[in-house]
Structure 1
Amino acid sequence: MAISDSTIQEIKNRIDIVEVISDFVSLKKVGSNYRGLSPFTNEKTPSFYVSPSKEIFKCFSSGKGGDAISFVMEVEGISYIEALKYLAGKYGIEVQEEEQTDEQIQAQNERDSLFIILNFASEFFKKQLFQSEEGKSIGLSYFKERGFNEQTIKTFELGYSLDQWDGLLKEAKSKGYSEDILEKAGLILRQENKKYDRFRGRVMFPIQNVAGKVIAFGARTLRSDKKQPKYINSPETDVYHKSNILYGIHQARQAIRNEDLCYLVEGYTDVISMHQAGVHNVVASSGTSLTKEQIQLISRYTKNITVLYDGDSAGIKASFRGIDMILENDLDVRAVVFPDGQDPDSFSRTMTSDAFQEYLKSNARDFITFKTDILTDGGKQTDPTKKVQVIRDIIESISLIPDGIKRSVYVSASANLLDVEEQVLLSELNKLIIQKQRKDKKPEAYQEELPPPVAEPQQKKPDIGSLAFPVERECLRLVINYGHEPFDEEMSIAEFVLGETESINFENKLIEETLNWATQLLDEGKKLDADQFIGPNNPSMSQLVIDMLEMKYFVSEGWEERHRISTMHESEDLPNAAYSAILRLKRKKLESLIHQNEETLKKSKNQDEQDELMRMHQHLKIMLKEINDELGTVIS
């Protein structure tokens, strides 16, 4: 099934881009636009802009931009169709789907097929948990023993896989699903001529992406059989890359944003128990080492992470690399350690929800205090040699922080905590930073630091053709921003610019392609709105057009009255702006032709050809002078 064109158009008509983006970014009105911190980078100064009139956003720190649909795709990491369905749900629009032809069904994207079969499997496992005798007596009993109530079980869509070789395989085949797609989704295994379920006799933990789509499963056995691994997970597929996802992110993302804090734990049951205890802003790395991609996923919603540890100090030391990675990605990190023998799952069940939440808040420590306490065994370790190593470990972590001010604050705090002179720590920190910079440089970068060999200076001639790019962009910018405005009584700005450039070959082929598309839209009687150029079919053109829609610079409200300085916007004299842009474009083209003619003349050995080239040269120079005179430019 595909979303009907009428539904897509209704979604586009109902979208309020400021309203959509405000669900993810705190926006402040500035002039006619809105501004906020980028959800894609760790910036401190707002460079993310939204234009309600043009219905687009532009992130100057990451370079990303587009309409409301592309924003949802970027920020949630979902497909075009999934973004449309998200927006339809937000605005209460019924999604009408159209029947596809046999050819379209056959060509259906494999990625979508994986989502469909994984969702089917999730529903099957849930059904077995609540309706089969085996599921109720084993799986449901286990979850209830863990203290999970029915609402929590449903929130995380927990399930049970029957202790059969082909329970899921048989059910899926009876519904028309192919063995091929089941295998690609990691749900069945092949061994010689045998095919059987990957998950058998286990409680099931569906792993969802940020949009709530099931992309994989974690499964725990309840047997005491030592030959069986306690947990098994889905293999990596086209929709599941374990380093890119966090368990519980779908249920936690809004709470993380609201609390401006993310709790990071290790296992599925840690997340579920904490959620039931009222702590909803929690995710798990699902037993894998923390990755850069997982940290970046959290950074979409907050810059603050608190890592929760059980009382095993050896295990904590092994996870220090995760804290360093968080610091390296410019996020703030704190840590909470539970009493010996306790983890977030077990400890949350020993007290009330309020008491547990208070424990988390009152026991959160900055990474310096936390790391020092672990490395010195709570201050019991006083060996000077060991203390030197602790200091080095702490400074090495601080050196990873990109923000210089943060580094300075942490150095000062470390000096007080470790009873070491601050200048000594700063000196060591600077050494580490310099070493890192040298290590990060490519070998050829060091070549540049050596004195250059003595040689005769050479004058490098400019690439005349490339100089035309700015004026080519200017012509397109005027068409995109003011195409519908009048040039004179007979034509619009777009009609004038497109008519004057019709016979010109552009150096930048993407600009030429975009202008050709604008010409086609005009020929079809369509208005040159930005959304005519922005969409998933041509990302390069979309990005180019978004870059033309300048939003970052504007005259603030009350400027003229406050400073008594009159300003004039280009929109107040568009015909002159368009005419000047065309003259500058033609001047660059003439300069390029003159340059080419001169180069040909230098190489020519034929007198007749030389005479013809000289006549052409004089003609081009006359035309260039006329354009310069028209522009009011005087050249020697």
Structure 2
Amino acid sequence: MISKHTTDLVKDRVDIEEVVGDYVQLKKKGQNLWACCPFHGEKTPSFSISPAKQIYKCFGCGKAGDPIQFVMDIEGIGFQEAIRHLAGKYGIEVEEDEKLTPEQNQEHTERESLLIAMNFAKDFFVKNLQSEEGRSIGLSYFKERGFTTQIIEKFDLGYALNGWDLLLNAAKKAGFQEEILLKAGLILQREGDPSRLYDRFRGRVTFTIHNISGKPIAFGARILTKDKNQPKYINSPETPVYHKSDVLYGIFQAKKAIRDLDNCYLVEGYTDVVSMHLSGIENVVASSGTSLTDGQIKLIRRFTSHVTVLYDGDAAGIKASLRGIDLLLEGGLNVKAVVFPYGEDPDSYSRKVGSQQFQDYLKENSRDFIGFKIGLYKDEIAKDPIRKAEVIREVVQSIGKIPDPIIRSVYAKEASGLLQIEEEIIFAELNKSLIKHQKELYQKNKEEKEADEKLEELIPIKEQALSVDDMLSLQERETIRLLLFYGVEKLGDEEGTNLSAYLLSETEGIDFQTPLYQKILAEFRKTLAKQEVPGIEFFTSHPDEEMKKEVIDLITPRHEISTHWHERFQIFITTESDDLASTAFKNVLRLKRRLVKKMLEEAKSKIKESEQSGEDTEKIQELLQVFMELKKVQFEIDKELGIVIG
């Protein structure tokens, strides 16, 4: 286990903006930072980061927490692993405190063991470049391509020696279990004889695939001989730490440049990425030869909304891969494309023309997807009117994938000019496409709704109007919110009572009906008894996850009042903090009013039960007396609050 001292150092050192900024593109709005949530797909940012409070909160999916919780959620790791990750980021030495129990160790370490095994394999392959075989084959190949020592180290390029079990034996000697090596996809079992194990990668140069935080999670390997019985590339299989549909090659090395330049170049292969880095272009990732997936598109959207797809100079291949552009558009990305001369790809062309000319080519030949797509079919549509009609429909379908209606309209007008066809026809076809999509969506929603309705018989329907209990719970929540925001603030002059002491005094003897709020209130009372007022940080770093999440929900506002109201227009907005004494007093009154209403409901119910059961008049009169006294209390509270009841 990591020591408390190390954990405290990490908590003191981490910064929420830096941690979240490694994964998503942040934009400042008011006092907070906003981004599209990395935990669920969305087009409009609802993910809020508060640098002042060191917390994040998504108003879409409800995810919330501090920097440590964010790393746990985004990486899918435990608390201990998150502390180690952040300690590495901030250069903090990790101190061990005590060993895990065997049960804890088994549950906690499988993922960590896989990552350690992948890191061992990475080091093994990298070290192999210095062997005689590695220098003559692997290093020679990289040097022929112009890869420098710095680039080789930057991407952890390596070489798998041409032997059946060299990695297996080295890993076993280092203490790795065969089971972990199998789960990591580093070794294979021979068919017909599961006891015979051998290396997956042999006699190939290796490309290390990193996750977004820089840990090796998989490998791609290229054969250098012309063996028709062997595939040119082989890749790691899916493992608990590697899901290829959610990974882009080079994302770790590219994420900062993508965020800084607000654009991502998308290529196909490993060597394309490495060669572009050699040319001074670092905002580039590869789909590693697989079809583009929703997970990869969401990964790009964390850092930018602009993508430039680079295509090899092969018209037939480009037309076959146009589906990727539609997926990017559907994902809310702004798409451009660059096509290289015939027979060239980013790797070959960058080596052929040099860094500066390569960069100039990308700038001069970048076209929006409409001009690019129409240009592909220019020769076909010039000779064949029927083919032109088909291309128009294809282009319109692509435009229909764009979620933003204004951008859709702009592209529709551009397509009209390029295709030399009336705007009305383009818009009519676009509307047909959109209506068709809406019908499909409606049918899907209808089917889902019908499925939900079948379940309603098993689920009690909640009444629209809030019950007395609901209203009381909301007021308890408001009391907790005031304690969190203004607990240390004084009511009146500097010598006055602070808000927490006042509210806790006024609620003495009142048990909150909501268990979670009662638990938070108890924490306030316990800490205040030590002559301390628990601040927001006390709860956002609290070990109780339920309590921590609720507190973050309470202190994260969805909207802020613009500073322009006051600074530019001289419009002054009265806030609850302007008169805390009044705010606290009215909160106590409202809380007690809700409590009295609940007691009135209970008294009314008891009177009804007594009348129905035929109890004596004296008992009923006693209950009526209680009811009337409660009504008097309610009347006094209403008068204080200015509530008029007929």
Question: TM-score category by the smaller chain?
Answer: 0.7 to 0.9
Q: Which amino acid aligns with 1:310?
A: D
Which whole-Å CA distance do the structure 2 matches of 1:354 and 1:282 have between them?
A: 16
Which whole-Å CA distance do the structure 1 matches of 2:603 and 2:441 have between them?
A: 46
Which whole-Å CA distance do the structure 2 matches of 1:90 and 1:445 have between them?
A: 45
Tell me the secondary structure at the aligned position of residue 254 of structure 2: helix
- Seen in structure 2, the aligned counterparts of structure 1 residues 500 and 223 have a Cα distance that, compared at 3 Å, is farther
8 Å contact kept, 1:480–1:530: yes
8 Å contact kept, 1:482–1:494: yes
Match of 1:453?
none
| CA-CA distance at 1:607 after TM superposition | 2.2
8 Å contact kept, 2:483–2:500: yes
8 Å contact kept, 2:269–2:286: yes
- Seen in structure 2, the aligned counterparts of structure 1 residues 331 and 251 have a Cα distance that, compared at 3 Å, is same
Matching of residue 515 in structure 1 with residue 515 in structure 2: no
8 Å contact kept, 1:49–1:552: no
Tell me the secondary structure at the aligned position of residue 229 of structure 2: coil
Instruction: After superposing the two structures, state which structure 1 stretch, 482-491 or 579-588, moved more.
Output: 482-491
Match of 1:349?
351
Which whole-Å CA distance do the structure 1 matches of 2:350 and 2:529 have between them?
A: 67
Match of 1:164?
163
Match of 1:386?
387
8 Å contact kept, 2:185–2:237: yes
8 Å contact kept, 1:37–1:43: no
8 Å contact kept, 1:35–1:46: no
8 Å contact kept, 1:67–1:531: no
8 Å contact kept, 1:306–1:333: yes
Matching of residue 470 in structure 1 with residue 474 in structure 2: yes
Tell me the secondary structure at the aligned position of residue 313 of structure 2: coil
Match of 2:109?
109
Cα offsets for 1:18-76 (capped at 9, x unmatched): 6766777566584xx35555575776789845342x34455657755544444566678
Match of 1:140?
139
Which whole-Å CA distance do the structure 2 matches of 1:176 and 1:102 have between them?
A: 20
- Seen in structure 2, the aligned counterparts of structure 1 residues 513 and 419 have a Cα distance that, compared at 3 Å, is farther
Cα offsets for 1:348-381 (capped at 9, x unmatched): 111110011111111111111111222x254555
Instruction: After superposing the two structures, state which structure 1 stretch, 142-151 or 167-176, moved more.
Output: 142-151
Matching of residue 124 in structure 1 with residue 119 in structure 2: no
Match of 1:454?
none
| 587, 595, 598: which one aligns with 1:589 | 595
Which whole-Å CA distance do the structure 2 matches of 1:109 and 1:401 have between them?
A: 43
Which whole-Å CA distance do the structure 1 matches of 2:509 and 2:61 have between them?
A: 36
Instruction: After superposing the two structures, state which structure 1 stretch, 222-231 or 297-306, moved more.
Output: 222-231
- Seen in structure 2, the aligned counterparts of structure 1 residues 296 and 538 have a Cα distance that, compared at 3 Å, is farther
Q: How much identity, in percent, do the aligned residues show?
A: 48
Q: Which amino acid aligns with 1:620?
A: L
Tell me the secondary structure at the aligned position of residue 339 of structure 1: strand
8 Å contact kept, 2:78–2:108: no
Which whole-Å CA distance do the structure 2 matches of 1:339 and 1:560 have between them?
A: 57
Matching of residue 10 in structure 1 with residue 9 in structure 2: yes
| CA-CA distance at 1:547 after TM superposition | 2.8
| 598, 620, 629: which one aligns with 2:630 | 620
RMSD value over aligned CA atoms? 3.3
Match of 2:369?
367
8 Å contact kept, 1:25–1:39: no
Which whole-Å CA distance do the structure 2 matches of 1:157 and 1:22 have between them?
A: 24
Which whole-Å CA distance do the structure 1 matches of 2:107 and 2:33 have between them?
A: 42
Match of 2:317?
315
| CA-CA distance at 1:78 after TM superposition | 7.1
Aligned counterparts, 1:410-449, within 5 A: 410-441=411-442, 442-443=445-446
| CA-CA distance at 1:543 after TM superposition | 3.4
- Seen in structure 2, the aligned counterparts of structure 1 residues 550 and 225 have a Cα distance that, compared at 3 Å, is closer
Tell me the secondary structure at the aligned position of residue 411 of structure 1: helix
8 Å contact kept, 1:36–1:46: yes
Cα offsets for 1:364-403 (capped at 9, x unmatched): 11111111222x2545553222111111111111111111
Which whole-Å CA distance do the structure 2 matches of 1:189 and 1:306 have between them?
A: 38
Tell me the secondary structure at the aligned position of residue 221 of structure 2: strand
Which whole-Å CA distance do the structure 2 matches of 1:218 and 1:551 have between them?
A: 45
| CA-CA distance at 1:252 after TM superposition | 0.8
Which whole-Å CA distance do the structure 1 matches of 2:542 and 2:290 have between them?
A: 34
Q: Which amino acid aligns with 1:392?
A: R
Cα offsets for 1:251-306 (capped at 9, x unmatched): 11111122211110111111111111221111001111111111111112111101
8 Å contact kept, 1:158–1:205: yes
| CA-CA distance at 1:205 after TM superposition | 1.1
| 575, 585, 589: which one aligns with 2:581 | 575
Cα offsets for 1:82-139 (capped at 9, x unmatched): 6655655665544444463564655543211211111111111111122x22222222
Which whole-Å CA distance do the structure 1 matches of 2:498 and 2:296 have between them?
A: 50
- Stretches of structure 1 that go unaligned for 5 or more consecutive residues are 448-458
Aligned counterparts, 1:254-293, within 5 A: 254-293=256-295
Which whole-Å CA distance do the structure 2 matches of 1:377 and 1:291 have between them?
A: 29
Tell me the secondary structure at the aligned position of residue 359 of structure 1: helix
Which whole-Å CA distance do the structure 2 matches of 1:232 and 1:47 have between them?
A: 38
Match of 1:193?
195
Matching of residue 605 in structure 1 with residue 612 in structure 2: yes
- Stretches of structure 2 that go unaligned for 5 or more consecutive residues are 451-462
8 Å contact kept, 1:39–1:301: no
8 Å contact kept, 2:330–2:403: yes
Match of 1:480?
484
Instruction: After superposing the two structures, state which structure 1 stretch, 571-580 or 336-345, moved more.
Output: 571-580
Instruction: After superposing the two structures, state which structure 1 stretch, 390-399 or 611-620, moved more.
Output: 611-620
Q: Which amino acid aligns with 2:429?
A: E
Aligned counterparts, 1:208-287, within 5 A: 208-287=210-289
Q: How does the TM-score come out when normalised to structure 2? A: 0.86
Cα offsets for 1:520-576 (capped at 9, x unmatched): 444455542222222495554333322322556556668668656555432243233
- Seen in structure 2, the aligned counterparts of structure 1 residues 253 and 259 have a Cα distance that, compared at 3 Å, is same
- Seen in structure 2, the aligned counterparts of structure 1 residues 460 and 568 have a Cα distance that, compared at 3 Å, is closer
- Seen in structure 2, the aligned counterparts of structure 1 residues 286 and 478 have a Cα distance that, compared at 3 Å, is same
Q: Which amino acid aligns with 2:587?
A: A
- Seen in structure 2, the aligned counterparts of structure 1 residues 17 and 241 have a Cα distance that, compared at 3 Å, is closer
- Seen in structure 2, the aligned counterparts of structure 1 residues 185 and 145 have a Cα distance that, compared at 3 Å, is same
Cα offsets for 1:443-463 (capped at 9, x unmatched): 26899xxxxxxxxxxx97643
- Seen in structure 2, the aligned counterparts of structure 1 residues 27 and 344 have a Cα distance that, compared at 3 Å, is closer
| CA-CA distance at 1:413 after TM superposition | 0.3
Instruction: After superposing the two structures, state which structure 1 stretch, 108-117 or 262-271, moved more.
Output: 108-117
Match of 1:151?
150
Tell me the secondary structure at the aligned position of residue 308 of structure 1: strand
Which whole-Å CA distance do the structure 1 matches of 2:180 and 2:505 have between them?
A: 53
Match of 1:179?
178
Match of 1:544?
550
Match of 1:401?
402
Tell me the secondary structure at the aligned position of residue 193 of structure 1: strand
Q: Which amino acid aligns with 1:185?
A: A
Which whole-Å CA distance do the structure 2 matches of 1:120 and 1:399 have between them?
A: 48
- Seen in structure 2, the aligned counterparts of structure 1 residues 56 and 113 have a Cα distance that, compared at 3 Å, is same
8 Å contact kept, 2:500–2:533: no
| CA-CA distance at 1:337 after TM superposition | 1.2
Q: How does the TM-score come out when normalised to structure 1? A: 0.87
